[in-house]
Structures are given as structure tokens and as C-alpha cells.
């Protein structure tokens, strides 16, 4: 049934209802109310883009439970919409109109109203309408709220003029940022947080007649107009109407330059006058007001000239536009001066309030009033995982960030924002970006040059959207695969992690920072300092997490050797920022017990800054100072005094800034500590060239997701594949073979990209551009049949490929014991069992960590650790079909059982399924020989070591490793595994002869 027919029948029904249920009678010159929802069952519970009502929330518990309930007291008809909720984050429901039908025209009405069954809980209920765009999920969002401070049914009337444009989760820059009302796609209700509640709602309808004073608005093309001293600012004033109809009556805009920090007659010429838009003026018509500024010979900070607008006949702009005379002539603005001098000059001029603002970082979605950027002198904004503009395009990202940067130009010294994002495996928040394998896969490549290339691609795509700062790389050394962040690590061996830190140069360029200003480089962040990969299972106190954010208990020697050493490498490579860990550090024998890393001055000030010589700035993790024991003031002073320079306070930026100022004034945080923090932050802003070029340089945007960039990701995906077993040479496949493909992860782009992809936790299914493993196999020319659950007949095939593994997760949500384990799902097990019983088979495990498969290993001919290969499934197909050889090696130990965990290279007791460093090859020639050959390789390795020839040394060890693997085959024992794993660690530390000696030991035990 067409939506128009539904509306017509509902309107007829409304006309037959008594006045008490239909609402107040319409005046003679007013249109009749138009029903939107009667809740009698005419609209289904569904999901967009179909016409329907659907729920949403921040986690699985937050969406409300909805029903259509028959009630005798229903204001309209027999049924009402009822619901119950218990929301900890956010939650609510939406009615999106069908995108296959025309949008609705609400422009002839005054507003929208509905009946609400009051619970008198004094909570605000947010009500939102959706304007323009292609459908309800790609439309502008306009919002208002009402307070539930009554009992029983009450009709809530909301004039359309009460709705304000949302500045978060929007098509940034908007479709037009005017509530047009001619193309409406539905509404949404956001329910209260923090209490168990119920609600009932009925009869959503349009009411009243729109008149000009309600439907016309005056806007300006910007809120801030920077202009060089002596220049003239042009303020464009426009009139717009809902429905885009011409105005019926004149609209006048009186303007006057008044107030601000600039002086009339000295800094600018006073302007005063009136602009009139006559009756009949088309919606969207503009007039320009000129504000001339004056030149003098003195150097000055920026000065503001508010342009006061008084509007008659329409709604006035929500903000007073400000002309800003740019700061000029001051030393810090001179790009020819050394950065150190520029920083010193600027810091000497700043107030405590301005310094505190520079130390504050807010989530962009929290800054609903963009004027707060200047009001609070904010130094930084970020996008958390999934915090993206709509539409999620490079252009929208750049426009959003430019809008924020423009606001910073209204501050006294026009200090640009530094915008940060978690681009941890490519620009993973952006649809269409090149998504690399997660770090665990990069570690498996053992290819430092490739790691650097992946960093370069990421930096290029991130900077092309206006973002100069990346919260990556993670330098954690993962020591327990029950940890939900295991895949963020390059591996369990600090030597491997250090070898992959070439990615820092890919992101930042030269260690000196001289390349940071380039349009394809970003500031990198080493995280999470220090020990986040070593937390003890069961030690977490964060919600239902079991290991993430827990306690790392180590000796001083273990701390130095395992967890700290990668940070010295990062400092030597010029890392620009460091992020401490949520976890606590408990150093045996130091008498402190477990202390949150954000509070450990001995590690941040003492080790990182003083001993290691780190000269960048330290940024806290998301709201992490809240986990420090004590009240908020204590959290602030403890973290700042411990050495944190900028605090990520996503939603508490006002409280943090005020508290920090109070702590300094009270003498509990020294001014010298604040000056040091601000100097470190400003140094990186100057190096990034933000003072000269604060806005997005989108010249590289055409390369986002390009063939060249995807080629790097494809190579990384191919080199990350680790061949663990290959009985009877099942791999590589031949294109002539008939291949039966099954398994949950064969054709799921979301599963193969994992967490931290478009959203924090990631999601299954197709959510961005890329190629699944199945698609890659087909593109490679294979004769492939696909049956996800292996339900299709299995006869007549030469070989089966079963792709199984995990679904996406991130951080503690993925902890084993928090609803997760290391076993394959029953469906995956069934697919493996069925296919491998019917034919020769290869099993690929797509996962962020090893999966337990020992009980099925004997039935599997070939086993591949595919990790999380990213968007380029072609790379996996490349090695499956022999276009590239398998060369990957295990970056972590593959356990036999969960009871073995934690298990790591170097352990005294070491009996894994597959040892660290294991990785068979499909090279055409595997080295042959025995003990004599290995002895010769050891001698040659010693010579290469003495000569300083790392390339020759690595080649000799690799030859020995492949020879030993050939002999051991699947008969891996504790006697062979331990020296084999130790050899790979020795290789990474440059002890080539010792590595060959260990491999010889493994050979003799095999």
C-alpha cells in the first residue's frame, strides 16, 4: 500500500474522532491536522530504508523495547506506542519513511505534535526531525526537547521554529542547513539515560498554519570572518524560508558593528545600516555587508568586531557573526624563526586560561555549540571510533574540520586546533579508505619496509581529509591472547615490535619532524605507555572486562626488556606524541603496588621524558584520568603533575579546563608545568605547519582508496598470511581445480577488517569498499563454488577452502571471558568437519589472535593464519593461487589450549601447537641439507654479523629456518619448538650465528 493512501485513510479516521482525541479544532484559515503516526498497526516495526519504526542504542542493552498496545485511554484510536527502557549510554527509536516513495512535505504547517503519557520524572526527552537528503539516514537532523514533568496524557506541541540544527552527526556543511520542511523523512525520540522507565506515545501529527514569522529565517554564510589588517570583510546575509517559497512580507536586517576587542576608528570603520528583503524575494537571496578594517604600524594579536544583527519579519541568526582582524607582526607568526623561538614568544603572551584550553581535547560530537572552541580556547578535537560526518566522505571530513578550524581563528592568538583520529590500520573511520591488515598481520610479514609503506598510505589518506594527527601506532607487546587488543600489537616479542616501528617514518617522515608540514604526513602517537600488553588475566576492574585495563605485574628487568624497549626506539625515531595506557603498573619490589599509568610520574616524567629524552607531548586516553583514585580535582592535578600535557576529556572539556585553572591558581599545579605542557603541544603544531595552513589540503584526496594505495594493502595482506601446515602440497591451488569454498569469513568484508573499522567495535557485513577473500579467489580466475554453511553438496570437487574465525570486536569488549573465547563457533566447526571429511581441504582462520584448532588439525590438510587482512581480499587470493608465495611468520605463539596462556617466546616451559616464528613457504625451492649445511650457514652468519651485513645475516637465518621446518613438518614438540622460537628472537636482535645455532638444536631434536 502506498504511503499516500495510508495518510488519506488516517486523515479520514481523524476526521471522525471526537475533538478530545483529535486535538484542538483547526481555525477556519488553518489546514486540518495531518497524521504522521496513529500507531494502530499501519506502520511496521522495521529497519531503514523500509518505512518503519526501529530502535537503536549505544550497546545491545540500550535500545528500548517497543510494542503497539491497546489502551482504553488512548487519545486516538485503540492502540498507542508503548515502550520500556534502561539506558546507560544512549538509546531511542526512529520512524523513517520509505526511501522508495517521495519524501513528505510539512511546509504548510506550523509544527508537529503528539500525545505523551507523562511519568513526571523531570527528564528531558529529545525529539528530532529529518530534513532533506536521500533518506532518513542521510538527512539533516533538527532537534529540540520537552520535559516529562507531568502525569498522564498531554499533547506536546512543537513549532518548527523550536528545532535547531544539530552540529554533530550531520552532513557537515549540511544539505543546506535550512529547515526546508518540503522533504521530510521522519522523526526520532531519544529517551532519558540513567533510570529504568516506560513511556507511551500516540497520534503524531502536523498542526497549524505556517506564517512568515515562523517559516522565514535570516542566516549568515559564516560565524567567523578572518581578515588581514586593512582588508575588508564581506558578510553575506541571506533570507530563507521553509518550503523555499518567496517571502510574503518584507524582512529587514539592521546591522551595526559594536563591541568586541577591536576599536572603532582605530582598527576598523564603523558600519551601521539596514538591509531590506522586499515581499516576493526568493528564498536563498543574499545581501553583502562590507566591514572595512584599518591599518596601523603596530604588531597586534587578533581583534574581534561583532556585527550585531536585528531582524524584523524573520528568525534571526543563532549567533552574532564576528569579523576577526588577524594577528600580525608578532614573532610567533614568523615562519622564518626557529620553532623554539616561536613557541617561547607565544607562550609568553598567553594567559593561564588560554594555556589551559591548549591542554584540553574534546570529542567533536560534544561540541554542540561550535563557539565553545573560541570561548574555551580549545587546543584539540578528536573523532572517537565511529564519530564521523554524514555523509562519511573525504569532502565532508575536510569541510567539518575546516569549520572547526575557522572557529579557532576567533581566538586572541589564532592558535589552530590539532585534530586527532584513531587511524590504526588505514584511515579506518572513512568509508572508501584503504584498510590495511591490523598490526598483528603487519608483524607477521616481518617486512619493515612494507610496514613503512602502510604508514605512508595511511598518513596520505588521513592528511587529505584535513586531519594532521593519528593515534597510532600501538607499540604494545601482547603477552596473552585472551586480551581483546591483541591484534593491535605487532607481536609478543619486543624485538619484533621494534623492527616494525619503521611505520613511524611512514606516518611522520624524517625523525627531525621536518616533513610533518607536508600534505601526506601526520603526527604519530606511540601507545599505550607502558605495559598494556602484559596485564594479568582477571585483573581488570573495568565493567565486564577480564584483562584489558588491568594490572601489569612485572619485575623492573621484565619491564625494561619487554615493555619499555619499543618506546626508546619510538623516541629515537622522533615520535611526536605518546599516549599512556588505561592499565595499572605494579613493579615488584618498588613498594607502590598497582598504580594507574596516567598517574605514574616516575614513568612519564622520569623514564619517558627525562631518561629517554622524549620531547613531544603526552596525550591521555579517552576519559582515562577519571580512573585515577580520588575526586576530579585530584585526577586533574595528579595526571598533569605526572607529565600528561593534553587531556582527552571527550565530554567534560569545560569542567577539565576550569578545574585545571583552579588547581594552578591554588598552587597545586605549577605554572612551569603548564608552560612545559603548552610548549610541547605548540611545538608540534608549528612543525605541522598549522599556523601557516590550518585548513585541509585536499590535493591528495584523489588518492584515497586508489589503486596504488590498495596495491600496498594487497601486498601487506599477502605477506601477512602464515602457512602453518601444508600436507600433500594442497596449497597453492591451481586454477584448473574445482574449489568448494565455505565458512563464515569467506565472504564477509566486515569480519576480515575487524574492529576499529568505521565504528569502534567494527561490524560484520559490507560497510566499505573492498574485496572479500571469496571475491579475490573468483577474480584470480579460480573455479569456485561457495556455500557459507557447507550445506551445498560436496561431491565433485578437487579441494575445499574453509574460511572461519572471529567476528569484529575492540578493546575489552573482545576479552576472553567477556562473552568471547578462542574456539571456533559451532557453525565454523561444522563447516570444517563437513568439507574436510569430503575432500582435501585448506582452512583459513581470519582472526585477531590464534584460535584453538588442535582437535581438528589432523583432519585439515593445510592451515593458514590469515589474521585480519583488511579490505584487500585479493592479497589472500594471491597466495592461495600461488601468484605470491607464502612467506609470513607467526608474530605470536599459537597455543594448544587456553590453559597454556600466557605462552610466549623465551618461556622456560614452552610446548605450543606452533612456535613463534613458524611459517611454511610455497617458494618453488625450499633449501635442502642437514647438519653439515646448518654448520656452514652458522659460520657464514657469524661472518655476516661481524661485517655488519644485516641483509646477508637475515637471508642465512631464513635459509636455515626453512630447512629446519622442512624436517620438523607437523611433528612439533617442546624440544623443537623452544629453540625454534628463540632463533627468531635472536634473528630480530641481530644475533645471526646464535639464531642458526638454535635452529640446529631444533633440527637435531626433530
Residues with a known catalytic role: 621, 811
Instruction: Report the DSSP pairing between strands 584-587 and 551-554.
Output: parallel
- Please classify residue 557 by burial: count the beta carbons closer than 10 Å to its beta carbon, then call 0-12 exposed, 13-18 middle and 19+ buried: exposed
Q: With CA atoms as reference, report the closest residue to 524 among 616, 453, 640.
A: 616
Q: How far is Cα 484 from Cα 812, in angstroms, rounded to an integer?
A: 5
- Please classify residue 328 by burial: count the beta carbons closer than 10 Å to its beta carbon, then call 0-12 exposed, 13-18 middle and 19+ buried: middle
Q: Which residues contact 420 (CB under 8 A, 6 or more apart)?
A: 361, 380, 381, 382, 383, 467, 469, 470, 471, 525, 619
Q: With CA atoms as reference, report the closest residue to 415 among 497, 512, 347, 336.
A: 347
- 3-state SS record for 580-600: ECCCEEEECCCCCCCEEHHHC
Q: How far is Cα 37 from Cα 455, in angstroms, rounded to an integer?
A: 51
Question: What are the distances in angstroms from CA 869 to CA 571, 886, 921?
Answer: 29, 14, 18
Q: How far is Cα 883 from Cα 898, in angstroms, rounded to an integer?
A: 35
Q: With CA atoms as reference, report the closest residue to 51 among 93, 5, 2.
A: 2
Give the chain's end-to-end CA distance (angstroms, integer): 73
Question: What are the distances in angstroms from CA 539 to CA 544, 548, 562, 829?
Answer: 11, 8, 20, 31
Q: How far is Cα 241 from Cα 258, in angstroms, rounded to an integer?
A: 28
Q: How far is Cα 275 from Cα 854, in angstroms, rounded to an integer?
A: 80
- Please classify residue 70 by burial: count the beta carbons closer than 10 Å to its beta carbon, then call 0-12 exposed, 13-18 middle and 19+ buried: exposed
Per the CB < 8 A criterion, the answer to whether 325 and 293 are in contact is: yes
Using alpha carbons only, give the angle 984, 490, 711 rounded to the nearest 5 degrees. Answer: 105
Could you give phi then psi for residue 790, rounded to 5 degrees? Answer: 60, 30
* 3-class state of residue 633 by DSSP: helix
Using alpha carbons only, give the angle 462, 59, 758 rounded to the nearest 5 degrees. Answer: 20
Q: With CA atoms as reference, report the closest residue to 111 among 219, 8, 204, 10.
A: 204
Q: What is the DSSP string of 665-697?
A: HTTSS-HHHHHHHHHHHHHHHHHTTTTT--S--
The strand ranges marked E within 530-594 are 551-554, 577-580, 584-587
Per the CB < 8 A criterion, the answer to whether 711 and 719 are in contact is: no
Could you give phi then psi for residue 397, rounded to 5 degrees? Answer: -60, -50
Q: How far is Cα 331 from Cα 69, in angstroms, rounded to an integer?
A: 70
Q: Any bridge partners for residue 56, and if so which? A: 92
Q: How far is Cα 229 from Cα 224, in angstroms, rounded to an integer?
A: 15
Cell of 606: 622520569
State the Rg of the chain over Cα. 32
Cell of 711: 596495491
Dihedral, 57, 58, 61, 65 alpha carbons, nearest 10: -10
* 3-class state of residue 843 by DSSP: strand
* 3-class state of residue 449 by DSSP: helix
Amino acid at each position: 500500500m502506498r504511503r499516500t493512501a495510508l495518510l488519506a485513510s488516517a486523515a479520514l479516521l481523524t476526521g471522525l474522532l471526537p475533538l478530545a482525541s483529535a486535538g484542538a479544532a483547526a481555525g477556519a484559515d488553518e489546514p486540518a491536522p495531518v497524521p504522521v503516526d496513529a500507531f494502530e498497526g499501519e506502520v511496521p516495526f522495521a529497519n531503514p530504508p523500509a518505512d518503519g519504526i526501529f530502535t537503536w542504542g549505544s550497546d545491545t542493552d540500550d535500545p528500548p523495547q517497543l510494542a503497539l498496545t491497546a489502551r482504553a485511554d488512548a487519545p486516538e484510536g485503540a492502540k498507542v506506542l508503548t515502550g520500556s527502557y534502561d539506558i546507560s549510554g544512549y538509546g531511542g527509536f526512529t520512524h523513517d519513511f520509505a526511501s522508495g516513495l517521495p519524501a513528505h512535505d510539512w511546509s504548510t504547517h506550523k509544527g508537529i505534535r503528539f500525545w505523551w503519557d507523562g511519568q513526571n520524572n523531570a527528564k528531558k526527552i529529545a525529539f528530532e526531525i529529518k530534513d532533506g537528503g536521500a533518506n532518513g539516514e542521510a538527512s539533516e537532523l533538527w532537534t529540540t526537547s520537552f520535559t516529562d514533568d507531568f502525569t498522564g496524557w498531554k499533547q506536546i506541541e512543537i513549532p518548527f521554529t523550536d528545532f535547531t540544527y544539530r552540529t554533530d552527526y550531520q552532513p557537515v556543511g549540511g544539505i543546506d542547513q535550512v529547515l526546508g520542511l518540503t522533504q521530510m523523512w521522519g522523526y526520532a525520540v531519544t529517551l532519558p539515560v540513567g533510570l529504568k522507565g516506560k513511556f507511551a506515545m500516540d497520534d503524531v501529527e502536523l498542526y497549524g498554519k505556517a506564517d512568515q514569522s515562523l517559516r522565514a529565517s535570516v542566516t549568515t554564510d559564516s560565524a567567523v570572518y578572518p581578515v588581514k589588517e586593512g582588508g575588508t570583510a564581506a558578510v553575506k546575509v541571506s533570507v530563507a524560508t521553509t518550503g523555499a517559497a518567496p517571502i510574503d512580507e518584507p524582512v529587514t536586517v539592521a546591522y551595526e558593528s559594536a563591541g568586541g576587542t577591536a576599536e572603532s576608528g582605530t582598527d576598523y570603520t564603523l558600519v551601521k545600516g539596514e538591509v531590506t528583503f522586499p515581499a516576493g524575494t526568493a528564498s536563498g537571496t543574499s545581501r553583502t555587508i562590507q566591514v572595512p578594517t584599518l591599518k596601523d604600524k603596530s604588531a597586534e594579536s587578533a581583534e574581534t568586531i561583532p556585527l550585531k544583527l536585528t531582524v524584523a519579519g524573520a528568525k534571526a541568526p543563532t549567533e552574532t557573526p564576528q569579523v576577526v582582524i588577524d594577528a600580525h607582526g608578532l614573532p610567533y607568526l614568523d615562519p622564518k624563526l626557529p620553532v623554539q623561538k616561536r613557541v617561547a614568544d607565544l607562550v609568553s603572551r598567553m594567559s593561564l586560561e588560554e594555556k589551559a584550553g591548549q591542554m584540553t581535547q574534546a570529542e567533536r560530537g560534544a561540541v554542540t555549540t561550535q563557539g565553545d572552541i573560541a570561548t574555551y580556547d580549545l587546543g584539540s578535537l578528536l573523532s572517537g571510533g565511529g564519530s564521523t560526518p554524514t555523509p562519511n566522505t573525504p569532502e565532508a571530513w575536510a569541510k567539518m574540520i575546516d569549520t572547526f578550524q575557522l572557529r579557532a581563528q576567533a581566538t586572541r592568538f589564532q592558535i589552530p586546533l590539532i585534530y586527532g583520529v584513531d587511524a590504526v590500520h588505514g584511515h579506518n573511520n572513512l568509508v572508501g579508505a584503504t584498510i590495511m591488515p591490523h598490526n598483528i598481520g603487519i608483524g607477521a610479514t616481518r617486512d619493515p619496509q612494507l610496514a613503512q609503506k602502510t604508514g605512508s598510505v595511511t598518513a596520505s589518506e588521513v592528511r587529505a581529509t584535513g586531519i594532521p594527527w593519528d593515534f597510532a601506532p600501538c607499540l604494545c607487546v601482547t603477552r596473552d591472547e585472551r586480551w581483546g587488543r591483541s591484534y593491535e600489537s605487532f607481536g609478543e616479542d619486543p624485538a619484533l615490535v621494534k623492527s616494525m616501528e619503521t611505520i613511524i617514518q611512514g606516518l611522520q617522515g624524517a625523525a627531525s619532524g621536518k616533513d610533518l608540514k607536508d600534505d601526506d604526513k601526520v603526527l604519530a602517537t606511540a601507545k599505550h605507555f607502558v605495559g598494556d600488553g602484559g596485564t594479568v588475566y582477571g585483573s581488570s576492574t573495568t565493567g565486564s572486562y577480564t584483562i584489558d585495563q588491568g594490572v601489569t605485574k612485572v619485575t623492573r628487568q621484565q619491564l625494561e626488556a619487554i615493555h619499555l624497549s619499543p618506546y626508546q626506539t619510538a623516541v629515537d625515531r622522533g615520535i611526536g606524541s605518546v599516549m599512556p595506557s588505561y592499565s595499572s603498573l605494579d613493579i615488584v619490589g618498588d613498594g607502590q603496588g598497582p598504580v594507574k599509568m596516567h598517574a605514574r610520574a616516575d614513568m612519564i616524567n622520569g623514564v619517558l621524558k627525562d631518561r629517554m629524552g622524549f620531547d613531544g607531548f603526552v596525550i591521555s586516553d579517552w576519559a582515562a584520568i577519571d580512573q585515577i583514585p580520588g575526586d576530579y580535582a585530584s585526577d586533574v592535578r595528579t595526571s598533569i603533575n605526572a607529565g600528561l600535557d593534553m587531556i582527552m576529556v571527550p565530554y567534560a572539556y569545560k569542567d577539565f579546563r576550569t578545574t585545571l585553572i583552579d588547581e594552578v591558581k591554588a598552587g597545586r599545579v605549577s605554572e612551569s608545568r603548564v608552560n612545559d605542557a603548552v610548549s610541547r603541544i605548540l611545538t608540534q603544531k608549528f612543525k605541522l605547519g598549522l599556523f601557516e595552513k590550518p585548513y585541509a589540503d585536499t590535493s591528495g584526496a584523489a588518492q584515497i582508496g586508489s589503486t596504488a594505495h590498495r596495491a600496498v594493502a594487497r601486498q601487506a595482506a599477502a605477506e601477512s598470511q602464515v602457512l602453518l601446515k601444508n600436507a600433500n602440497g594442497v596449497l597453492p591451488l591451481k586454477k584448473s581445480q574445482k574449489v568448494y569454498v565455505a565458512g563464515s569469513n569467506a565472504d564477509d568484508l566486515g569480519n576480515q577488517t575487524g574492529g576499529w573499522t568505521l565504528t569502534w567495535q567494527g561490524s560484520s557485513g559490507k560497510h566499505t569498499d573492498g574485496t572479500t577473500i571469496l571475491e579475490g579467489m573468483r577474480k584470480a580466475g579460480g573455479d569456485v563454488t561457495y556455500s557459507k554453511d557447507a550445506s551445498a553438496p560436496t561431491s565433485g570437487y578437487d579441494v575445499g577452502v574453509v574460511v572461519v574465525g572471529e567476528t569484529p570486536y575492540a578493546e575489552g569488549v573482545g576479552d576472553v571471558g567477556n562473552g568471547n573465547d578462542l574456539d571456533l563457533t559451532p557453525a565454523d566447526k561444522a563447516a570444517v568437519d563437513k568439507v574436510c571429511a569430503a575432500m582435501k581441504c585448506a582452512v583459513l582462520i581470519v582472526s585477531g589472535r590464534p584460535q584453538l584448532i588442535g582437535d581438528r588439525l589432523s583432519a585439515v590438510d593445510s592451515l593458514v593464519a590469515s589474521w585480519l587482512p583488511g579490505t584487500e581480499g585479493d592479497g589472500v587470493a594471491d597466495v592461495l593461487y600461488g601468484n605470491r608465495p607464502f612467506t609470513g611468520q607467526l608474530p605470536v605463539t599459537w597455543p594448544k589450549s587456553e590453559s597454556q596462556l600466557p605462552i610466549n617466546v623465551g618461556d622456560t616451559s614452552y610446548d605450543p601447537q606452533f612456535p613463534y616464528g613458524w611459517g611454511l613457504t610455497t617458494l618453488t625451492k625450499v633449501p635442502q641439507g642437514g647438519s653439515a649445511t646448518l654448520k656452514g650457514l652458522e659460520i657464514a652468519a657469524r661472518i655476516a654479523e661481524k661485517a655488519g651485513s644485516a641483509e646477508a645475516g637475515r637471508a642465512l637465518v631464513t635459509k636455515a629456518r626453512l630447512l629446519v621446518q622442512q624436517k620438523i613438518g607437523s611433528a612439533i614438540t617442546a624440544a623443537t619448538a623452544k629453540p625454534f622460537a628463540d632463533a627468531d628472537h635472536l634473528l630480530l636482535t641481530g644475533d645471526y650465528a646464535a639464531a642458526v645455532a638454535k635452529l640446529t638444536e631444533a633440527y637435531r631434536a626433530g
